[in-house]
Chains A and B, each alone.
Chain A
Amino acid sequence: MILEVKNLHVSIENKEIVKGVNLKVKEGEVHVIMGHNGSGKTTLARSIMGYPKLKPTQGDILVDGQSIVGLSVDKRAKLGLFLAFQNPVEVEGVGFINFLHNAKESISGSVNTKELMTDIRSNAVNLKMVENLVGRSLNQGFSGGEKKKAEVLQIGVLKPKIAILDEPDSGLDIDAVRIVAQNINEIAKKTGMGLVIITHYSRILSYMEPQFVHVMTDGKIVAEGGKELIEKLEKEGYESFSNGSK
């Protein structure tokens, strides 16, 4: 699967947040989008997933050459896109396992419960999710760290083709960042999925091997390169990129 974002412009309440972004992600690739708070990273991710209030004003989003701009969120998920939320939503009274079962069924058309349970269990163990997930409501009563881990668990279970992870590291302690990163790597390696990691800290990246690094400021991608870009960012900060140097 190839996800392509072409000259994408997105506005919220008439204020342009994403100002002409281009991005091309293939299965098996690891991309990183870095940028400070408010640079438009999250809006970009959410508009790719199809949040109804983020209709592109210009440009296009394509999967395998076909525009998905007209598709509802669930259809995009069924195509193989996944968005790990920065702030995963709590849903009262909805069992986590049951929810995963329904999600898996919707995406794959059918579900083998035994395999699913094995998958959930092994992912939970790998992620060191201590609490028993059975009987718990979706993200409700989960700690910040657990929520993030639960998002990664969902990636491991739902096996999308391209997963966008919106700040999978925020609010995590050092150990948890490592565990989350290692699991993301492991899942991607196993399934060959493409990854887009959105972050503004480089810590998580020290455990990963991104091939493509994109720096985003003020709704635009202002620099692109390999892993070396991360070091540059570490040293010079986002400031040095804000003038549009590329």
Chain B
Amino acid sequence: MMVVMAGNDNELLGYADEEYKERYGFSDKTEYTYKTEKGLSENVVREISKVKGEPDWMLEKRLTGYKVFKNKPVPTWGADLSGIDFDDVYYYLKPTGKKEDAWEKVPEDIKKTFDKLGIPEAERKFFAGAEIQYDSEVVYGHVREELDKQGVIFTDTDSAIKKYPELVKKYFGTVIPASDNKFAALNTAVFSGGSFIYVPKGVKVAMPLQAYFRINAEKAGQFERTLIVADEGSDVTYIEGCLPADELVSRGDTFQRIDTIKEGDAVPTHTGGTQKVNKKFIHLHKGTMLEIMPLSKGNSFKLTGEHPVLCVKRKNVLEKRKPRKNWKPEVSTMSLLSIDPEFVKAENLEEGDFIVYVAPKLTKNDPQFDETTLKILGLYLAEGSVSSNKALHGIKSVSFSFGKSKKESLLANEVNLLIHEKGFKSSVCRSKGGYYIVSSYAKELVALCEDNCGKGAKTKLLSEKIMKLPALKQKILIDYYWKGDGNIYHRYGKDMLRASTASRFLAYQIQEILARNGIFANLNIRRGGFDTILGRKIERSDQYIIEYTEGKKIGEVRKKGNTFFVPIKQIKKYEFNDLVYNFSVNKDESYLVKGFAVHNCTAPIYMSSSLHSAVVEIIVHKDAHVRYVTIQNWSRNVYNLVTQRAFAYENAHMEWIDANIGSKVNMKYPSVYLKERGAKGEILSVAVAGENQVQDSGGKMLHLAPDTTSKIISKSVSKKNGVSSYRGQLYVAKNASNVKSTVRCDALLLSKESKTNTYPYMDIKTDDATITHEAVVGKIGDEQLFYLMSRGLTEEEALTTIVLGFIDPLTKALPMEYSLELKRLIKLDTSNSVA
């Protein structure tokens, strides 16, 4: 609804625009129809509150904030803030259009900007400041619909003040009162936007909190206010959703619709291992949905445009040869295999690009599946079924039906022998039509078949045990499946093996097993319908056709380790307006959709302003857990002065994960007040100070109760004349016995001019606290550079390698998109720091 933009529009905005241009290759001027006078006065504060239609109690809080702000001097204990001219800032700017304005009225240039930024339609409206009321109702509303049963409140702060005055009143400013510091006071006086979240007792929330928070920050400017209250035993974290409900996700043993995936389920990731789903997220997506079709139709999947997919762009791997008439540019296998795939937003995928099919690596051998058993199961998969005989009081039998030919009769005999080999009884007979039938009433055999392969044609499915067998064992089963169901035909100049099944899941499973055996199989769908065979009208179900060739490649598919690069044959776009799903996974931060690696995220959004002063207050009640992830990449003209603080009560767990790359001066010290027994606080932060930048960051842990633990890991990198400082405060109160605290701050200096400072403040009032504090300052050693360069890396590559290695603990903890963005930014930066 309201955007507060930078002050001196000529200079500061101009500079920001330059930055914008540099990053994105474009810049757009935004015009504002309404803005308050420059500078801050009581009138401005009153006006902001009035325009927002706030209740009096909120105006009172704002005015208190204003008074504190006016009376407190600019802090001088940290970075130099003398460059801020508080009178030269617009504290309240409103972009074109009133709040009820339609999206259509948003100026073209703003729309264009969003296009270039690749912001999804639904989110653009937030950014543009149009239809906020409407859209926030809709989007928050839909999320609420999902979470209403759980009683979760998730809304923007402005709305929360009106709708949940009691809750807001109860918690607002209790963690960070206006009197805390000058900038918290400023924020209290002029804040706009931010998120309000309340999670009731015992509720584990999975919501795209971060995305909406960011969006709010965008629309509502640089003084956002966020308040998160996690009630007893609850859980909140950040990530967002992008896949439609019916998308299939690989579970390793089977595939499952994404909307039925539960937290705690294990899913394979792009590394081939598995990770547990921590959180599942749902949000409404209005706008374009993409359908990506790799080589074959059966592997098509849908996702939203901003959803990253593991990919190798075709243009990067083309064969270097002169263009010839009628010769399409070809792909060089060598370069395809040597380039590391990257996560690319789906909307930036093009037909012909290679996406990555991953064969899961997980194996767990199970000796009950010997060769004979696997052969029996293979044939069962192709020709078998289990039925219960009414005449015999429901006794179950397994039968294998074969055709009339000589070959089929041999197969019938083989399965009969195999069954006998396992010590079961079975018999072969010929049906009236001349078909060979092998049947057995052996209970164990029936159970074996049913448990591991399912019952009927449409529901055939391999068990988890089978899906986890070593690849070679699985291959035995598949070979026998093919013996029964497969046929050979000639295509692509090769002998292709083909089989079809009515079970969609089985088709994906077979594809996966073949992939684990190093074979990429095509998967096509023959749609079902009514058919007439020999004058009889029959209904035919969808058939999934698997085809492959052994030892040869299909088309441009190339294998690398346990992955396959598969070219995209077609990309379709259509309009979509429904819920989309996503989930976050531990560690790898990716999962497989129909075998293809996609990722859950939005790239961090770059903004420009001269003064950013947010306040984040978090209350973590008994046994609750909150994880707050931010990456800060403001343009290099911004003073980023953010106050983030959490109160953690009995056995509560608060985590701050914080990366600071941008801004001119950054001062940010997330803190946790460990207020009751057993509370746990963690801060993991990284700061990169480049040319003319000051990164003053760190963390505060206040142990106010016994048995509380804390951990701070801080990593900073300074380049050129950049200055990074760690400022940490550790306080252990008198009554706080048995406290454990670990602080580790590592600094890396890339140049002689760069600086790092460490200011650990410790105040320990007990005798029994276990405190470890480690601070290590490293210079990029000549020896390290020499070593890496002696292995062929250029100076630039060697530097980047060292820096990325240094911040590895953080990049591992960040969601993949942040981690990739961070790595990319750091690569970009280090390439400039080589003399």
Contacts and interface: CB of A to CB of B under 8 A. Distances in A.
B787 A85 contact: yes
A120 to B, nearest CB: 12
Interface in A78-128: 78, 82-83, 85, 88-89, 91-94, 99, 102-107, 110-114, 117
Contacts of B784: 89, 91
Contact of B334 (A73, A76, A110): A110
A112 B786 contact: no
B801 A82 contact: no
A92 B778 CA distance: 11
B761 to A, nearest CB: 27
A interface, how many residues as a size bin? 35 or more
Contact of A102 (B561, B787, B801, B807): B801
Interface string B86-120: 00000000000000000000000000000000000
Interface residues of B, number: 30
B793 A111 contact: no
Contact of A105 (B338, B561, B804): B338
Contacts of A114: 337, 560-561
A22 interface: no
A113 B801 contact: no
A61 B128 CA distance: 64
A137 interface: yes
Given A89-B784, A113-B338, A94 B791 contact: no
Interface in B789-825: 789-795, 797-798, 801-802, 804-809
A85 B786 CA distance: 10
A106 B797 contact: yes
Contact of B782 (A52, A92, A158): A52
B335 interface: yes
B561 A113 contact: yes
The 8 closest A-B pairs by CB, nearest first: A93-B808, A93-B805, A106-B792, A73-B789, A94-B805, A103-B791, A89-B787, A107-B792
B787 A99 contact: no
Interface in A10-63: 46, 49-53
A77 B806 contact: no
B793 A103 contact: yes
A64 to B, nearest CB: 18
A72 interface: yes
Nearest to B803: A93
A52 B786 contact: yes
Contact of B338 (A72, A88, A89, A110): A110
13 contacts: A51-B782, A72-B794, A77-B789, A77-B790, A91-B801, A94-B801, A104-B792, A106-B793, A112-B334, A112-B338, A138-B805, A158-B791, A158-B792
B790 A83 contact: yes
Given A91-B788, A113-B560, A74 B335 contact: no
Contacts of A78: 792
B774 interface: no
A154 interface: yes
Contacts of A154: 791
Nearest to B808: A93
Interface of A: 46, 49-53, 72-74, 76-78, 82-83, 85, 88-89, 91-94, 99, 102-107, 110-114, 117, 137-138, 154, 158
A91 B561 contact: no
Interface string B582-610: 00000000000000000000000000000
B11 interface: no
A229 B794 CA distance: 40
A105 B561 CA distance: 17
Given A52-B786, A73-B786, A91-B801, A103 B792 contact: yes
B804 A111 contact: no
A73 to B, nearest CB: 4
B805 A137 contact: yes
B39 interface: no
B575 interface: no
Contact of A93 (B334, B783, B790, B804): B804
Nearest to B334: A110
A102 B789 contact: no
B835 to A, nearest CB: 12
B792 A99 contact: no
Nearest to B715: A93
Contacts of B788: 89, 91, 99
A132 B335 CA distance: 28
A50 B789 CA distance: 10
A111 B786 contact: no
A107 B788 CA distance: 12
Given A77-B791, A91-B805, 13 more contacts: A51-B782, A73-B786, A74-B792, A74-B797, A93-B808, A93-B809, A94-B805, A94-B808, A103-B793, A110-B334, A113-B560, A114-B561, A117-B561
Given A110-B338, A114-B560, A93 B806 contact: yes
A99 B801 CA distance: 8
Contacts of B791: 77, 99, 103, 106-107, 154, 158
B53 interface: no
B151 interface: no
B801 A89 contact: no
A77 B788 CA distance: 10
B391 to A, nearest CB: 58
A146 B805 CA distance: 20
Contact of A92 (B561, B792, B793, B805): B805
A92 B786 CA distance: 15
B808 A92 contact: yes
A113 B337 contact: yes
A93 B807 contact: yes
B264 interface: no
B58 to A, nearest CB: 47
A51 B801 CA distance: 19
B434 interface: no
B335 A110 contact: yes
A148 B782 CA distance: 20
Contact of B802 (A83, A91, A158): A91
A113 B804 CA distance: 22
Given A53-B782, A112-B337, A106 B806 contact: no
B105 to A, nearest CB: 50
Contacts of A46: 786
B781 interface: yes
Contacts of A74: 789-790, 792-795, 797-798
Contacts of B338: 105, 110-113
Given A93-B807, A94-B801, A110-B338, A51 B794 contact: no
A77 B790 CA distance: 6
Contacts of A103: 791-793
A246 B809 CA distance: 56
B487 to A, nearest CB: 32
A113 B562 CA distance: 11
B808 A106 contact: no
Contact of A82 (B781, B790, B809): B790
Contact of A89 (B781, B793, B809): B781
B126 to A, nearest CB: 37
